[in-house]
Amino acid sequence: MSRGKGGAYSAARIAARVAELGKEVSRECEGRRLDVVVTLDRGFIFAADLMRQIDAPVVCHFVREEVRDVQDSGNARREVFFGSGPELKGRDVLVVDAVLESGVTQEFLLRRLGESGPRSIRLAVLLDKPRKRRVALEPDYFGFRTASNQVW
């Protein structure tokens, strides 16, 4: 692993990996329009870099999650909400987030976006942390597999 200044990956290594991901996504798009759904605030920088590397028409949408801690009969639970999503019926969709850890939020978002009937739906993350996964979810594209949140 090349170490950047004070972190896990150099800027050059991250850029090279994002370029590789862009080529992978481009091959699978086969020139078709791609609707990219970006999670705010976490995913927008990675998404911007990735979209510049995709050789296909791209339309960008943003979603923001709202997390609430709820007390229910003395039991604490966390609820995740997303505002209304874009209309994606028949479209190729790429959901982009920075980190896939437990997978709970991304799995919920993928399910919710899938309700609108997209042609395909995939997940891209910069960091994949499979040891912390709480749901059966794997990214279609990932930059790096790691146990750390530290990138640079």
Distances from the Cα of 137 to the Cα of 101, 126, 130, angstroms: 10, 15, 9
Bridge-partner residues for 65, per DSSP? 82
Average pLDDT over residues 115-123: 96
Give yes or no for residue 105 having a pLDDT over 80: yes
Q: Answer for the pair 59, 36: CB distance below 8 angstroms, yes or no.
A: yes
Domains and CATH numbers, the chain: 11-145 (3.40.50.2020)
pLDDT digits (tens, 9 = 90+) for 43-85: 899 999 999 999 999 999 998 877 777 777 877 666 666 666 6
pLDDT digits (tens, 9 = 90+) for 6-52: 457 889 999 999 999 999 999 999 999 999 999 988 889 999 999 99
C-alpha span between 63 and 68 (Å, rounded): 16
| pTM of the predicted protein model | 0.85
